[in-house]
Amino acid sequence: MAANDGTVGKALEVLDQVAAFGRPVRFSELLDASPFPKATLYRLVQTLTKQHMLTFDHERNTYTPGLRLVRLAHAAWQQSSLVPIARPHIDQLAEEVREAVHLAQIDHGHVIFVDKRKKTNMFDTLAQTGLVAPSYCTGVGKAILAFLPEDRRDEALKMQAFVPYTPHTHKSPDSLTPELAEIRKDGIAFDREEHEQGIISVAAPILRSGDKVVGAISIATSTSRRSLDDLNGLSPILLETASRIASEIEPWHFPN
């Protein structure tokens, strides 16, 4: 992935590492997973800890991502241009369809769930705010990928590992590409238990000025509640919502 912006870049790389472990990590584990020499990594980790970007557990000698991140992320989330605009709409959608509704954006090739609403009492799907999901096997991910300009799509796909979460998961870009063309045509993407067994979703991109994708929304449910056809029946209202959100986006920018 290249592009190493000096010390800051390295520090962030370490942060990513720690986050990726998903559990408290020892210095030595980090060292193995890291391209940096011992002393360098040591000082990076020290600095990050002193800065509360990492939390150090004295008893277990392990590191976890620090609370300062939560603080900073709140600001990021609150200021996101998309979230506040979409909020009332996904809220209403969740109310109408009585299923979980997700809002996602893409960043750095990662699909990030930035908001969710659910008005049902069923068990929580695993998606939560801030969760990162793979793009190639989620509804929102594919919806966004499909409408990304070609270069950015390639870039996003290149940094994917194509983990076979379920038997339905795409195994390589080759099988994915035709589906993306399909999605581009229909304006609708499906997740057919590709990320989690028993979980399906319909997703629609949010297109600014008709073609620039800035995010996606999806309705997710379990196969025990609804069939895929059934879910497909919700496409119109999903599309309607997506376009309503899009229409409220100011003529300004959108990074992505």
Partner DNA sequence: TTGTTGGTTTCAAATAATGAAACCTAGTTT
Partner DNA sequence: AAACTAGGTTTCATTATTTGAAACCAACAA
Q: What is the 3-state secondary structure (H, E, C) of 141-166?
A: HHHHHHHCCHHHHHHHHHCCCCCCCC
Binding site for a copy of itself (CB under 8 A): 3, 5-9, 11-12, 15-16, 18-20, 22-24, 44, 47-48, 50-53, 55-60, 64-81, 105, 107-108, 110, 112, 114, 128-132, 252-253, 255
Q: How far apart, in whole angstroms, are the C-alpha atoms of residue 195 and residue 192?
A: 8
Q: Which of 38, 50, 52, 158 binds DNA (CB under 7 A)?
A: 38
Give the DSSP per-residue string, 101-154: EEEEEEETTEEEEEEEE--S-SPPPS--TT-EE-STTSHHHHHHHHHS-HHHHH
Among DNA, a copy of itself, none, the one that 37 touches (CB under a kind-dependent 5 to 8 A) is DNA
For residue 21, state whether it binds DNA (rule: CB under 7 A).
no
Spatial contact of 176 and 170, defined as CB atoms under 8 Å apart: yes
DSSP reduced 3-state for 63:
strand
> Per CB under 7 A, which of residues 61..80 are in contact with DNA?
61
Nearest to 221 by CA among 112, 83, 97, 78: 97
Among DNA, a copy of itself, none, the one that 165 touches (CB under a kind-dependent 5 to 8 A) is none
For residue 16, state whether it binds DNA (rule: CB under 7 A).
no
Burial string for 89-110 (b: 16+ CB within 10 Å, else e) reads bbebbbeebebbbbbbbbeebb
Q: Which of these ranges, 26-34, 66-74, 223-231, 233-241, lies near DNA under the rule CB under 7 A?
A: 26-34
Distance in Å, CB of 17 to a copy of itself, minimum: 11
For residue 44, state whether it binds DNA (rule: CB under 7 A).
yes
Measured from the CB atom, the residue of 27 and 165 that comes closer to DNA is: 27
Distance in Å, CB of 57 to a copy of itself, minimum: 4
Distance in Å, CB of 62 to DNA, minimum: 7
Among DNA, a copy of itself, none, the one that 240 touches (CB under a kind-dependent 5 to 8 A) is none
Distance in Å, CB of 16 to DNA, minimum: 16
Instruction: Report the sign of the C-alpha dihedral through residues 182, 188, 192, 195, in that order.
Output: positive
Q: Which residues bind DNA (CB under 7 A)?
A: 5-8, 10, 26-28, 31, 36-40, 42-44, 61
